[in-house]
Amino acid sequence: MSTDLSKTPDTTTGTTTEASISGAEIVLDEVVKQYPGQKVPAVQSLSLTIPAGEIVMFIGPSGCGKTTSLKMINRLIEPTSGTIRIGGDDVAKQSDNELRRQIGYVIQGGSLFPHMTVAKNIAIVPKMLGWKRQRIDERIDELLDLVSLDPGKYRDRYPRELSGGQQQRVGVARGLAADPPVILMDEPFGAVDPITRQRLQDELLSIQRELRKTIVCVTHDIDEAVKLGDRILILQEGAKIAQYDSPEVVLGAPANEFVEDFVGSGSSLKQLSLTRVRDVDLIHPTTATVGESVAEVKRRAEANGDTSVIILDQRGRPRGWPWLRQLKGDTVVEPTEDLVDVDLASTLNDALDTMLSSSHGGAIVTGDRDQYVGVVNFDAVTDHIRAIEEKARD
């Protein structure tokens, strides 16, 4: 992968607009961590380059040194020997507190300070950096917006008044607060339920599309690593590198038996995490807009051979997916169900998950600003798996 920084990104071609990289390269050079009283070093000579603007996932069995390695980057743990450079600067030569203010740090559950409001939590690092009050206030609103929380509603709430997923979002916003080039995440989405985790991961990816930070993230979940990582670093005991490569290569060509075991069986299933919903064919069942005549909608659905319709609101956002027999009255009213949909950028794995919990055998797909795009169904997924298997056989 090569990135030419001299050229401005081309926004006229291509489907997504490439933002310019705001991250910095991290280089670990023969980094060792030996705890006193332990025979074997926790980290034995780790050398690694993390390219600017990429997400690198650290993964490995517990006790492999992945968290230790992460924490040495912001010197929460001091290396015994070796050097770590961020954007060319040796971290050991900077004051530890100054260094940490320039590195975002996000840990499990968000780890928000319960006695501070959402706004105060986010403001911590900017305040320490001496930002003006007005700049901080603007930044708080901007960040809450970025993590899909309405600033007016959530700015002055306390962490205990938020759900787990919302707390985690604020945790991410806090990590981004001072616009650091590097963000370290330690199992950031470990404490939330699977559906929320999936949403948070999607959001992180879309935030990253916009910001292009260098993100180093520790996880124990190979699916998460495959989904989020531009590269995956698989570590063995003593933080020995088992493999460091793109998810495609790690899944398709495991470097050794350890990686094979770790990645686990069902690698074609895991491939589902590499494919985005936008890469498969969507179907387009009957839709109806709130306010339309029910009789008309039923006629249309029957003509299409559909037994259910997707109801959109006036702004084209999906609101419900009722069976025809559930449509009552003269005009279509806005449904109150809690519709779970997937984003165009969601993985097939997530889509499959959503499909399994849907009685329609499909998942509604939305694009930017929650606009309805279509439906992904089991056929699309099985077709995709078949294609992968055929490719593997050749």
Q: Is 209 helix (H, G, I), strand (E, B) or coil?
A: helix
Residues 6+ apart with CB under 8 A from 341: 318, 354, 363, 364, 365, 366, 370
Are 231 and 244 a contacting pair, CB within 8 Å? yes
Candidates 94-102, 282-290, 297-305, 325-333: pick the segment binding another protein (CB under 8 A). Answer: 94-102
Single residue of 58, 105, 154, 258 touching another protein by CB under 8 A:
105
Q: Between residues 184 and 217, which has the closer beta carbon with respect to another protein? A: 184
Per-residue contact string for residues 168-207; x = within reach of another protein by CB under 8 A: ------x---------x-----------------------
Q: Considering only residues 39-78, where is the footprint of another protein by CB under 8 A?
A: 74, 76
Two tokens, residue 304: 């299409």
SS (H, E, C) 266-321: CHHHHHCCCCEHHHCCCECCCEEECCCEHHHHHHHHHHHCCCECEEECCCCCEEEC
Contacts 24+ apart (CB under 8 A), 240-247: 240/44, 241/46, 241/48, 242/60, 244/48, 247/273, 247/274
Q: In the bound complex, what is the minimum distance in angstroms from residue 214's beta carbon to another protein? A: 16
Q: Between residues 129 and 295, which has the closer beta carbon with respect to another protein? A: 129
Q: In the bound complex, what is the minimum distance in angstroms from residue 175's beta carbon to another protein? A: 9
Q: Considering only residues 109-168, where is the footprint of another protein by CB under 8 A?
A: 111, 113-117, 124-125, 128, 158-160
**Kind and range of the H or E element at 48?**
strand 43-50
Nearest to 138 by CA among 181, 183, 182, 177: 177
Q: In the bound complex, what is the minimum distance in angstroms from residue 104's beta carbon to another protein? A: 9
Q: Between residues 80 and 108, which has the closer beta carbon with respect to another protein? A: 108
* Under rule CB under 8 A, residue 101 binds another protein: yes
Q: In the bound complex, what is the minimum distance in angstroms from residue 67's beta carbon to another protein? A: 11
DSSP secondary structure string for all residues of 76-103? SS--SEEEEEETTEEGGGS-HHHHHHTE
Number of residues that bind another protein (CB under 8 A): 26
Q: Between residues 172 and 242, which has the closer beta carbon with respect to another protein? A: 172
Residue 284 phi, psi dihedral angles, 5° rounding: -130, 80
Q: Is 394 helix (H, G, I), strand (E, B) or coil?
A: coil
Candidates 101-109, 208-216, 234-242, 264-272: pick the segment binding another protein (CB under 8 A). Answer: 101-109
Q: Between residues 102 and 286, which has the closer beta carbon with respect to another protein? A: 102
Candidates 47-55, 91-99, 231-239, 353-361: pick the segment binding another protein (CB under 8 A). Answer: 91-99
Single residue of 108, 246, 268, 289 touching another protein by CB under 8 A:
108
Q: In the bound complex, what is the minimum distance in angstroms from residue 315's beta carbon to another protein? A: 35
Are 44 and 32 a contacting pair, CB within 8 Å? yes
Q: Considering only residues 227-286, where is the footprint of another protein by CB under 8 A?
A: none
Q: Between residues 113 and 323, which has the closer beta carbon with respect to another protein? A: 113
DSSP secondary structure string for all residues of 108-155? TT----TTS-HHHHHHHHHHHTT--HHHHHHHHHHHHHHTT--HHHHT
Instruction: Give me the residues that bind another protein (CB under 8 A), please.
Output: 74, 76, 96-102, 105, 107-108, 111, 113-117, 124-125, 128, 158-160, 174, 184
